[in-house]
Amino acid sequence: MRVLAAMSGGVDSAVAAARIAEAGHDVTGVHLALSANPQSHRTGARGCCTIEDSRDARRAADVIGIPFYIWDMAERFQRDVIEDFVAEYAAGRTPNPCLRCNEKIKFAAVLDRALALGFDAVATGHHAKLVDGVLSRSVDEGKDQSYVLGVLTREQLSHAIFPLGDSTKAEVRAEAARRGLTVADKPDSHDICFIADGDTRGFLTKRLGQAEGPIVDQAGEVVGSHQGAHGFTIGQRKGLHIDRPAPDGRPRYVLSIEPVSNTVTVGPRSALEVTEIVTGAPIWNGPDTRDDLTVQLRAHGEVYGCRVEETPGGLRIHLDRPATGVAAGQAAVLYSGRTVIGSATMVTTA
């Protein structure tokens, strides 16, 4: 096959490209330039899409012996990922930008261009397995990325290759060293790639501005103030700046965010518990089964047994035990065993 290997400049995508080339496919490497103003260097393990990353990707392609190109996707990334991220927070929801990047950039914009250029598939360094178009978990539970791929359609998965699904991260690094890839010991990027300093609240404040509003308890009593509801997420405990402590002395958590009134409601951890989730329209991308289901509610989060009820507008997911910190805007990814069967965006909880 003619395969386009997406190369981020990290160890996973480099080894994935090397494996595909070694298997005899006609491979071309491509690095996605996602930042209009890339920084010259990373800050440790933070950020991505830097000049350093593009150079690391090129060096890896040279070692593997494959053609290499850089595709400018900065405008599309700005519109479909960054602006979406800001808009979701402004609406009181908590988005997952990595999931949106996979959906809108790597397996929409890139895949569409790849197919138009005559490629048969796109390969990435995600830790997930794909067998006959069916997505499932990686053997490395700690690095499994099937959750952030759960939004892909069957058609997109039919043109995807994930070569690392049967390997642990340690095995990937060891293989990179054997192959002479200089990224073998490069730190993984983490947090949100376009917020290199990790200050999400500061990033959002620059774009949405400050707007003072109340922090209230469950009775509606004002217990503090804030400079913008967009700076909070459901389940947050630290950085609340509460003036009046709870009568029982226990910590308070963010329970809800109301963007119209700019109000943040806080309360005890027990009030975070939910047993039912309502979602928007689902994407069914796996086997047609509704038996022995589990659901994952955030990347690398806990897995819950569940029962799924289809509704005219989406799904109603009944959990077998309470979950906490569940936020609208995030994805509920459904599994049967280790296999992904579908996903949907969470709208509300009960």
Kindly list the catalytic residues: 101, 193
Distances (CA, A) of 97 to 22, 114, 156, 238, 280: 32, 22, 19, 22, 18
Q: Who contacts 187 (Cβ-Cβ below 8 Å, separation ≥6)?
A: 44, 45
> Cβ(211)–Cβ(228) under 8 Å?
yes
Distances (CA, A) of 136 to 23, 68, 103, 146, 330: 22, 29, 17, 6, 20
Q: What is the DSSP code string of 170-219?
A: HHHHHHHHHTT-TTTTPPPPBS-TT-TT--HHHHHHHHH----EEEE-TT
3-state secondary structure of 273: coil
Q: Which amino acid is at 238?
A: K
DSSP 51: H
Cα distance between residue 175 and residue 17, in whole Å: 12
Adjacent-strand bridge partners of 317: 277, 308
The tokens describing 313, both together, are 């507008």
Q: Who contacts 231 (Cβ-Cβ below 8 Å, separation ≥6)?
A: 201, 204, 205
Cα distance between residue 138 and residue 201, in whole Å: 32
The tokens describing 344, both together, are 């949907």
In degrees rounded to 5, what are phi and psi of residue 84? -65, -40
Question: In which residue are the tokens 């730190």 written?
Answer: 187
The tokens describing 86, both together, are 């800001």
In degrees rounded to 5, what are phi and psi of residue 321? -155, 155
